[in-house]
Structure 1
Amino acid sequence: EDFMVIGPSEPIVAVLGGDITLPCRVSPAMDVGNMELRWFRSKFSEAVFIYQNQREQREEQLAQYRGRTSLVKDFLTQGDAAVLIHNVQAFDNGLYTCFFRMGIFYEEANVELKVAGVGSAPQVHITGPEEDGVRVVCMASGWFPKPQVQWRALSGEKFLTFSETQAQDGEGLFTIETTLVVRDSSSGNVTCSVLNPILGQEKAMAIFIPEPFFPQSSPW
């Protein structure tokens, strides 16, 4: 009996450390409880979850998904199946394929998972004078994906020129360090903000730069 497998039309957003389901369904709707259901990463053998002969099969499952995945069985008779991933990690980010087989007939569909995590609030400090201004450094860690960084003046105006470095830790989370040179001694406060582009969540910290910190211009 022929069928189509349909995945979500939009990427699914998962929060770091949370749980997420990757759903797929067959059309026309039919009982999929007797089918082989498989979710895998870039290769068929990179199995995230396998359900075969009406039970979970763990032999081919990737080690990093063992004990972290389960099948949502509530709607199998209606043609809906989903794998639940617990404790989402940065490496879960990306494409999945769901593969449904009945006898020799099979179909598959793609599911895109976007993992997002908000890390530490930025730490801002003055590191010293610089040419004709004051050097300010901002650091934040534990973000995913790479966050967007912005420096703003008290007026709300954005500083466009600053340097930025980034690194990823063993879990794939980003640490960023950004350096701004403030040249206007009347700036007062500057704010470093770090934004997660997927969640739209931001953390910010302001620092006050006292005027005496700026290099004094010679009166003659």
Structure 2
Amino acid sequence: MNLLKMLSASECLWFCLDVLIPSASAEGEPGSRIKVVVREGSDATLPCSLSTKESIIQELFNWRKVDPNEQEVFRYDGGLHYYNGLPGQDEHFRGRVSHFPLELKSGNASIIIKNTVVPDSGVYTCDFPRLQPEQTFRITLVVEPVIRDRSEDITGAAPKPLIHVLKISEDEARLKCEVRGAFPKPKVEWRDGDGNTLPAEEPQVSHTGERYDITLLTMVTRTNSSLFLCVATQEELKHETQDKLYVAFCGGEYALR
């Protein structure tokens, strides 16, 4: 018989919650290392819980990323935190971190980092500076990248640039390159047919969450090949993508190849 059919409605609810929600309790003593491994794009629960189960509703606890770089992740101080009055959270984590308010009464200071990305990987600390003795937990988060068969399918990798001719004359043309929805932030540049980097205007950069949209404009002049490339490079992912444009300086005609 189906297990869920044997349970009452309330028992079924708690059973389903227990299966679907990852545990938020830390195993081990303060100072010991805990390792959490998730796939990129999923949510990560970083555990931190007092063994005494005493209430921390009026306590202070602070989450920091300490390696490979130092960042303020989440801070709770007697009911205040980064989303209701406390300043200082690192921009990288803004809007992506939550805690378990209903479990503070039982000593649970765990957090959830939503929609993880590879740069979230590192060592985090959860400390209670007002407790005697002070307690600190160390948690290592490993975010595994999602890689498919083609480099273009790497989660967050820059897609093929979109390139346009905005204006053209007999001897020069104004070109536009757009890279949309990329993370990490790519380096975008214009090159000539020989691979030389061309002067360009200051990139126009916007982002939604962790995804970057970049527009780069340049003015080019007639060359022997009239071939120009827009190249987007992400060193962290070892990923590069490009598109090319053949410009015919003849009354405004141009071709994409």
Shorter-chain TM-score category? Answer: 0.5 to 0.7
Structure 2 matches for 1:28-67, cutoff 5 A?
A: 40-41=63-64, 42=72, 43-45=74-76, 57=108, 65=112
Aligned to 2:248: 210
What CA deviation, in whole Å up to 9, does each residue of 1:49-77 have, x standing for no partner?
67x9xx994xx666xx3xxxxxxxxxxxx
Checking the alignment, whether the CA contact within 8 Å between 1:40 and 1:96 is kept in structure 2 is no
AA at the equivalent of 2:199: L
Give the counterpart of 1:98 among 116, 122, 125: 125
TM-score, with structure 1 as normaliser: 0.55
Aligned residue for 1:68?
none
Matched, 1:17 2:46: no
**CA deviation profile, 1:146-191 (whole Å, cap 9, x unmatched):** 210121211122213444211112x242110001111124242211
Is residue 2:183 matched to residue 1:138? no
Residues 130/21 of structure 1: CA separation in 2 closer, same or farther (3 Å cut): farther
Higher relative contact order (CA 8 A, sep 6+): 1
Distance in 1 (CA, whole Å) between partners of 2:98 and 2:62 is: 5
More strand as a share of residues = 1
Partner of 2:56: none
What is the Cα deviation at residue 19 of structure 1? Answer: 6.7
Compared CA separation, residues 23 and 206, structure 1 to 2 (3 A)? farther
CA contact (8 A) 2:42 2:114 kept: yes
Equivalenced residue count is: 175
Choose which of 154, 157, 161 in structure 2 pairs with 1:122: 161
**For the residues of structure 2 that align with 1:56 and 1:108, how far apart are their CA atoms?**
13
SS of 2:232's partner is: strand
Aligned-partner Cα distance in 1 for 2:222–2:163: 18
> Which runs of 5 or more residues in structure 2 are unaligned?
1-28, 54-60, 65-71, 82-96, 146-154, 253-257
Q: Equivalent residue for 1:88?
A: 116
User: What amino acid is aligned across from residue 176 of structure 2 in structure 1?
Assistant: V
- Asked if structure 2 preserves the Cα contact closer than 8 Å seen for 1:163 and 1:180, the reply is no
- Asked if residue 193 in structure 1 is aligned to residue 231 in structure 2, the reply is yes
- 1:177 corresponding residue in structure 2: 215
Secondary structure of residue in 2 paired with 1:198: helix
Q: Which has the higher helix share?
A: 2
Please give the TM-score of this superposition, normalised by the length of structure 2: 0.49
